[in-house]
Structure 1
Amino acid sequence: MITSFYIRSFELSGGVSADTQFHFQMCIEKFGVAMTTGSNWDFRLPTEIHFGWERLSTLSAVLTNLGGRHVFAMIGRSFLNRVGETGLKDLLGPVELTVFTDIEENPSINTVDTAAARCREAGADVIVAIGGGSVLDAAKCVALLQKNDGSIRDYLYQVRKPERRGLPLVAVPTTAGTGSEVTPFAVITDPEKNAKPAISYPETFPDHAIVDPALTISMPTPVAVSTGLDAMTQALEGFWSTRATEMTRAMAFRAITLIYRNLEAACLGKDRDAIEKVTLGSVIGGTQMAMIGNTALHPLSYPLTLDYNLRHGLACAIYVPAFLRYNQPAIDARFSDLLTVLGLRTIEEFAAGFEALMQRLDAPTRLSALGVERAAIPQIVKNGVGRSTAFNPRPLTEETMIEILETML
């Protein structure tokens, strides 16, 4: 099914981990996503996107169209606290319901396997996920395991490959940042290995994404900042990636402009128009990310989330100014129009402006602020190199990455 966009004012302007990158070719072969040079490319996604204010009210109709009779609802606790079980039942309509809320930030293998077993026991025929990126990632894995044997560990480490799609999945994000609702990616934490492996099978695309800006209004400011900066980082990586196509780069361009101009007002002022634009930027950025993935920044973020307990979006964005400066010789020409639209003159001005924005949002901009010492940097780099590192526009070695991180102390 070719992606359907129900997006108001969608005007296109002109990390994943190492394990995630392994599966890109499978997505290309199944969904016609071409990573070609020059002007040849294809673009197709299987997720149907419904965007706009109060679109959550369409959830019951979407479930009816899917033929869902028993819903396994994976729900973020904050959302369930707001609406209550009665409100949730009203949203879902006349269906049997099993609710699962035990999903932590950075969900673990055990959490996914436990939820998958609960879903099988319930006899559910459709899954609804309402929450942040952790909830959506976990739900993709649970859906997959309903039709494929084994633990999610088997798929994270490629012991098994899916034989079929899982249960139908409707993804409803309550944050504006991860883009998980429109991608096949799911990052799961493996506490035993202190690692964050990922899956990226074509079978894990959600069937529907309901993207309602109203759901993001109640985000606590630190969550809004982290998820918004995650969306911004994903769009920047998509814009400078060596895998980018004309279509994905146009989407990344639009996502960057929407988020950069509106993130501060959305997070600190709770401005309705700014919230809509950041939410739109997030889903556009997530859609291009589904095609091409990330570059060096997302793999580098994982050591900071695992070892320094930094929120994912902050762990990605902290690298942006330094990598803008490092990549400058390779991206000057590509960024010319973008800088003009943003009212900036140089990459250095962009890097400084991004850093200033992070400071206004109370986001860390120096590794030393996290407790990172110089002696720890080589291990961060070693643990933060993935296949997507190769898609950075300027070649990277472990030595150059160490040098970049040392400038961030």
Structure 2
Amino acid sequence: MKFPENFEMVFNRRLIFGKNKIQEIPGILNWYNKKKVLFVTFSSQFSTYNELSELLKASGLEVVPYEVKTEPSLQTIDHGRDIYMEENCDCTIALGGGSVIDAAKVIGMLAVNGGDTEDYQMRGRAVTVEPPLFIAIPTTSGTGAEATKTSVVINNNNHLKKSLYHNTMIADVVVLDPALTLTLPPAITAATGMDALSHAIESFVSLNATPLTEMYGLKAIELVNENLEKAYSNPDDVDARAGMMLASYLGGCAITAGIGIAHIMAQPLGGEYGIPHGDACSIFLPASIRLNSEYAEEKYVKISHAMGVGDSSLSNKENIEHLLDRIKQLQKAIHAPSCLKPYMKEEPEMDYLIDVIKRTTGHITCNPKPLTEELMKEAYEMAMKED
């Protein structure tokens, strides 16, 4: 195979997998001589939050709660920074889904670098100081936020959902406990699962893919194929939940290679029209495969095998059709959306839509097929078609 001339990856310093592993966190913080934790979570009423808070307090640590209930906005993060600084916290824990983890990444970074979220999201301000210790504990299986250096933030001033990132914003320690996902509602299991699948597929065909990202991505695809339907239909299946948690993490590692047209469309449209991110990814994933198939044909064939439908006796095009059929079958099995139309209250002005996409994700150039306005329009039109 042809290798890229150069590439770079950033990994968490430590990954801990297994049931009840949150009990190790107080010892980790004490080893680092930490005294006061900003504990970011989606609800301070969550039983795991209370359990871990009590463990932290019993080991001599102070705990400052901060709730993030929706996708993080500028104000949500800036307010968290203020609390972190006012309370003189010296480390951060995130317990929740991608929104909670993304918010915690930026809060810690802002606390020592100064400025506000918009400075780094829109004005290009540089991160110059390493953020304080950050531990991420995901409670969903899809975003892979615990494995990335990136935060996706809603900008209330210009209505864009746009990423900011830095190598040092990645979690120092990640705790993967599949038992934390047993109570996930089916709709969240489905949406986050399709997000993980989209990460893995898009990174695998990315022009910036490397041997490492391909390895992580292909394994994530296999795990989603084997476990998503099981986790959806049997929520108490711990093995299926474990498979999805690993798929999410590996997909997060793989997405270092970058995203393609599915995410290029899903992220800004999600911000503009209030479409849950996983649902938007589910809708645009088949369109992305059709649009890119001629530019990454052999890779999509490998994906078809990872999804359990590849057949070496068939042509590449036939295998790609089998892949699309399998994705459609998966969507139906977990009631994941496949059409954008129900989310669009009125037909948008296409020039405005293209402008939003360009300002949000138009800088991304690793999609197999060159990113043009025509490609964006084609993706939108395909996503609007009902099965």
TM-score in terms of structure 1 length:
0.85
> What's the CA shift string for 1:68-105, capped at 9, x where partnerless?
1111111221x743246465222564233333333131
For the pair 1:351 / 2:324, whether they are aligned, the reply is yes
Would the aligned equivalents of 1:298 and 1:316 in 2 still touch at CA under 8 Å? yes
| C-alpha deviation, 1:312, in angstroms | 0.8
8 Å contact 1:293–1:388 — kept in the other structure? no
The corresponding residue for 1:125 is 90
Q: Is the 8 A contact 2:38 2:89 kept in 1?
A: yes
Instruction: State yes or no: 1:401 paired with 2:376.
Output: yes
2:111 is aligned with 1:136? no
Q: Tell whether the 8 Å contact from 1:178 to 1:286 is kept in structure 2 after alignment.
A: yes
- 1:377 is displaced (CA, Å) by 4.7
Specify which structure has the bigger relative contact order, considering alpha-carbon pairs within 8 angstroms and separated by 6 or more residues: 1
Q: 1:383: which partner in 2?
A: 356
Q: Distance in 2 between matches of 1:80 and 1:377?
A: 43
Structure 2 equivalent of residue 267 of structure 1:
232
Deviations 1:302-352 (A, max 9, x none): 333223322111111210111111111122212333323433241122112
Superposed, which structure 2 residues align to 1:229-248 within 5 Å? 229-248=194-213
Are residues 1:51 and 2:17 paired?
yes
1:74 alignment partner in structure 2 = 40
Equivalent of residue 333 in structure 2, options 348, 356, 360: 360
Q: Compare 359-368 and 184-193 and name the one that shifted more.
A: 359-368
5 Å-filtered alignment, 1:218-367, equals 218-270=183-235, 271-289=237-255, 291-345=256-310, 346-367=319-340
How many residue pairs get aligned? The number is 373
SS in 2 for 1:106: coil
What residue ranges of structure 1 are gaps of 5+ in the alignment? 1-13, 15-35
Residues 73-92 of structure 1 correspond to what in structure 2 (within 5 A)?
73-77=39-43, 80-83=45-48, 85=50, 88-90=53-55
What is the aligned counterpart of 1:369 among 313, 333, 342? 342
Structure 1 residues 87-98: aligned runs within 5 Å: 88-90=53-55, 93-98=58-63
User: What fraction of aligned residue pairs are identical, expressed as a percent?
Assistant: 28
Does structure 2 retain, via aligned residues, the 8 Å contact 1:47–1:182? no
Q: Classify the secondary structure of the residue corresponding to 1:98.
A: strand
Distance (whole Å) between structure 2 residues aligned to residue 52 and residue 393 of structure 1:
37
Mapped to 2, the partners of 1:235 and 1:378 lie a distance apart of 30
Contact 1:39 1:246 in 2 (8 A): no
The whole-number CA distance in structure 1 between the counterparts of 2:196 and 2:57 is 28
Q: Secondary structure at the match of 2:213?
A: helix
Report the alpha carbon displacement of residue 159 of structure 1 after superposing the two structures with TM.
4.5
Q: Any runs of at least 4 consecutive aligned residues in structure 1 with deviations exceeding 6 A, and if so which?
A: none
CA–CA distance in 2 between the matches of 1:352 and 1:376?
32
Shift of 1:258: 0.5
CA spacing shift, 1:371–1:192, aligned 2, 3 Å: same
**8 Å contact kept, 1:235–1:253:** yes
Q: How high is the TM-score relative to the length of structure 2?
A: 0.89
In the alignment, does 2:192 pair up with 1:192? no
